[in-house]
Amino acid sequence: MTDRTVAVLAGGLSHERDVSLRSGRRLSSSLRDTGLYVEEWDVDAKLLSRINSSRPDAVVIALHGGAGENGAVQSVLEMLGVPYVGADPRACRRAWDKPTAKDELARAGLSTPEWITLPHATFRDLGAQDVLDALVARLGLPLILKPPQGGSALGLHLVREVAELPGAIVGCLAYGDSVLAEGFVEGIEVAVTVLDGPDGPQALPAVEIDATSGFYDYAARYIAGLATFHAPARLDSAAAAAVADLAVNAHRILGLRDVSRTDMVVTPDGVAQFLEVNVAPGLTETSLLPMAIESTGAHLGTIYATLIEGAIARSLR
Amino acid sequence: MTPSPTPGQPCRKQSTQRDLDPHLHRYAQRTAGMTASEIRALFAVASRPEVVSLAGGMPYLPALPLDSLADELAQMIATDGMTALQYGSAQGTAELRERICELMALEGIRAHADDVTVTVGSQMALDMVTRIFCDPGDVVLAEAPSYVGALTTFASYQAQVVQVPMDDDGLIPDELSAALCSLRAQGRTPKFLYTIPNFHNPAGVTLAVPRRGEILRLCAEHQVLVVEDNPYGLLGFEGQIYPAMRAADPDNVVYLGSFSKTFAPGLRVGWALAPHAVREKLVLAAESATLCPPTFTQFVVARYLTAHDWKGQIKTYQEAYRIRRDAMLEALAHYLPPGCRWTHPAGGFYVWLTVPEGLDTKAMLPRAVTQRVAYVPGTAFYAESDRSPAGRMMRLSFCYPTPDRITEGVRRLATVLDNELELQRTFGSLRPRTVFGSQSPSPDTA
């Protein structure tokens, strides 16, 4: 394994560049612990020439948001014939767009909070007040607003009062042209990592998020003291099985590969409700996937080194 | 049962609790505001070359003659290396302090080198001044808006900042008087007034000369020290130099200076000129912080001031920044939608832009980053970030990008504003203000 050269892609131009750089650093350090030769590459206009000149044995994508999760970088790597860890471009696109993922999983019978996706043009053309009234009539309050694409809870809003709604929508629209409105589900928020193994996709222990505000937004993710985490989650065995099943099913149905992290809520009656899935989950010192791995006694670098070997083997088939 | 990630390795059953920072309970209360934010995260993108950054106040270093500086530096190491690489005095080298006095004489200051304390940038001088004067809860007066690096320093010493309005002629004496009287009625005396009289950061305005005496008189009357921060004073585009407030009142003004804008910020050489008794405290505070300012960079600056045509270099900078200022003002006039207004700086680095009613410069920053342009939202320059009218304002820096890039950046900014105005038309007066918490940008944007 020591002969392998691995490129970790991080940074890029998405709104999540900062988190991505931290993910890249953490992953690279962990992979070096396993004896791999690792280079950290920021993604810019020189990426293709860099890949062609360096020809790494494999690439790991630690890019969050945008090109790293919407299949764009994966398409380039396919084009260049470079093995990479993670889902193929088509699966990435399905997971990246939250309404698409929710729709596919709901049609497959998985539970997910009711949702409506509204482009800015709908508010503009049909009258904002009427659309807002209809939205509240349909989903009720409180509700969650978020950009249909993107992560790190950027643009995420919990709306408890009607008066908060316009501002939250405008805040969301700063990140894109549409808003995903979702009914707010009370319960325990958990994240479940799924890894592909010899026996197919397997769920790691769920990580439970206990946000002091009751809402796991950007601040709770990155400001110490606003959330605590429990790994494994403090769930009874039935709920633990339910969240594992949901994550594995989401991984399978969306056609994901190698690794994914599904975020969900467990309702008081034990039902796991899908929120979203990430094909390039955060790998920082405070991210949920490394917590899940550590809760099993395993090492992040070892896990990803195994995935890298799998990606290389896949490319040789 | 949940599987193990590696075959044959048992899962740990016991749930463990984790916090993002296991040291959280140990931090001092003054760190409470030192937190991550969406704004800080977005500025990570601003450093990429694809983004036209109108955010950072970085001097235009390509204007420096690096070849000749390298020669002078090599010569300095050859002749003075043993001293330049050694520990030095906490107050700074005598030679540099002499040169600093000569430089300050351009602004009418008559000072003795004994009253100068060299610091690691003027930021350290500001930190030292705040450290020796402010206990938690003490009041500091500052302009509204004010330099973000000063506000974070005051916050770190848990001082309460009272900001006083400005207009196109700088700090308004009547408003200062009202603030002083209001505080006096509350039984509170501010420890000092922090002011940037020349080519203000972020407002871009200059304190009118007649107002300077009035402000000094008010502060003396209320027994309030004046801290005059003057990093941009020699960067007037017409070569104009305004009289320093320190020149008029040596006993009640602490003057802060810097070579970051007139030479190079990487050297981190600034200074404080203080009344003698204050200087004693400053030196002791500086000694506890750094032992001594870097001797090496003091030698570099001293040599630069003796062997180099530094006045010619300042003229080069003035011209570079004037061209950039003109490019920005022209682009703003050409591209920005009606309802915007902005300051017309006669020197320095910054334009202060006010956007149309109802827009929120902090909320629209993600859209700007998507459009590959960056600025600093106005709320960063207010101690109370939700204070009106900060939400409608932003600071634009013209110091570093080329004129073409400035024009392109403003064009992109106009697209962002157009989109925001369309949202405004859609959601009208229903739209509330901020969507983020209060946070300052990173140091490279300060």
Mean pLDDT, chain A, whole residue set: 95
How does pLDDT run across A138-190, given as a tens digit for each residue? 999 999 999 999 888 889 999 999 999 999 999 999 999 999 999 999 999 99
What residues of A are in contact with residue B51 (Cβ under 8 Å)?
13
**B338, pLDDT greater than 90:** yes
Average pLDDT of span A230-257: 97
By Cβ distance, the residue of B5, B17, B18 closest to A204 is: B5
Average pLDDT of span B350-378: 94
The answer to whether residue B428 neighbours chain A at the CB level (below 8 Å) is yes
The answer to whether residue B421 neighbours chain A at the CB level (below 8 Å) is no
Average pLDDT of span B375-382: 94
Task: Kindly indicate the confidence band of residue A248, based on its pLDDT and cuts at 50, 70 and 90.
Answer: very high
Q: What is the pLDDT of residue B6?
A: 45
**B37, pLDDT greater than 80:** no
Q: What is the pLDDT of residue B20?
A: 82
**High-pLDDT (> 90) share of chain A, %:** 89
How does pLDDT run across A281-295, given as a tens digit for each residue? 999 988 999 999 999
**High-pLDDT (> 90) share of chain B, %:** 82
By Cβ distance, the residue of A155, A170, A175 closest to B427 is: A170
Q: What is the pLDDT of residue B78?
A: 96
How does pLDDT run across B291-331, given as a tens digit for each residue? 999 999 999 999 999 989 999 999 999 999 999 999 999 99
Task: Kindly indicate the confidence band of residue B443, based on its pLDDT and cuts at 50, 70 and 90.
Answer: very low
Q: What is the pLDDT of residue B385?
A: 66
DSSP state of B236: B
Mean pLDDT, chain B, whole residue set: 91
Task: Kindly indicate the confidence band of residue B433, based on its pLDDT and cuts at 50, 70 and 90.
Answer: very low
Which 3 state secondary structure label does DSSP give B166?
strand
Q: What is the pLDDT of residue A317?
A: 81
How does pLDDT run across A99-137, given as a tens digit for each residue? 999 999 999 999 999 999 999 999 999 999 999 999 999
CB contact under 8 A, A203 and B5: no
Q: What is the pLDDT of residue B398?
A: 98
Task: Kindly indicate the confidence band of residue A312, based on its pLDDT and cuts at 50, 70 and 90.
Answer: very high
pTM for this prediction = 0.91
Task: Kindly indicate the confidence band of residue A220, based on its pLDDT and cuts at 50, 70 and 90.
Answer: confident
Task: Kindly indicate the confidence band of residue B388, based on its pLDDT and cuts at 50, 70 and 90.
Answer: low
Amino acid letter for position B82 = M
B218 close to B177: Cβ distance less than 8 angstroms: yes
How does pLDDT run across A60-105, given as a tens digit for each residue? 999 998 899 999 999 999 999 999 999 999 999 999 999 999 999 9
Q: What is the pLDDT of residue B29?
A: 87
Tokens read off for B54? 């109108």
Helix runs in B226-345, H state only: 245-248, 276-290, 295-307, 310-335
Range in A3-7, A54-58, B271-275, B436-440 with the lowest mean pLDDT: B436-440
Tokens read off for A283? 């790998």
Give the CA radius of gyration of chain A.
19
How does pLDDT run across B41-100, given as a tens digit for each residue? 788 888 889 999 999 899 999 999 999 999 999 999 999 999 999 999 999 999 999 999
Task: Kindly indicate the confidence band of residue B430, based on its pLDDT and cuts at 50, 70 and 90.
Answer: low
Selection from A104, A146, A151 nearest residue A280 by Cα: A151
Task: Kindly indicate the confidence band of residue B40, based on its pLDDT and cuts at 50, 70 and 90.
Answer: confident
What residues of B are in contact with residue A240 (Cβ under 8 Å)?
2
By Cβ distance, the residue of B20, B51, B426 closest to A123 is: B426
**A3, pLDDT greater than 50:** yes
The answer to whether residue A223 neighbours chain B at the CB level (below 8 Å) is yes
- Interacting residues of A125 by C-beta distance below 8 A, sequence separation 6+: none
Chain A segment 38-57 residues within 8 A of B by beta carbon are: 44
**B429, pLDDT greater than 70:** no
Rounded to 5 degrees, what angle do the CA atoms B202, B207, B210 make?
175
How does pLDDT run across B101-137, given as a tens digit for each residue? 999 999 999 999 999 999 999 999 999 999 999 999 9
Task: Kindly indicate the confidence band of residue A2, based on its pLDDT and cuts at 50, 70 and 90.
Answer: low
CA distance B251 to B285: 20
How many CB atoms neighbour CB B5 within 10 A?
A: 24
Q: What is the pLDDT of residue A10?
A: 97
Selection from B258, B268, B282, B284 nearest residue B130 by Cα: B282
B180 close to B222: Cβ distance less than 8 angstroms: yes
Q: What is the pLDDT of residue B387?
A: 58
What b/e string do you get for B248-266 counting C-beta neighbours within 10 Å, with b at 16 or more? Answer: ebbebbbbbbbbbbbbbbe
Chain A segment 74-93 residues within 8 A of B by beta carbon are: none
The answer to whether residue A315 neighbours chain B at the CB level (below 8 Å) is no
Task: Kindly indicate the confidence band of residue B9, based on its pLDDT and cuts at 50, 70 and 90.
Answer: very low
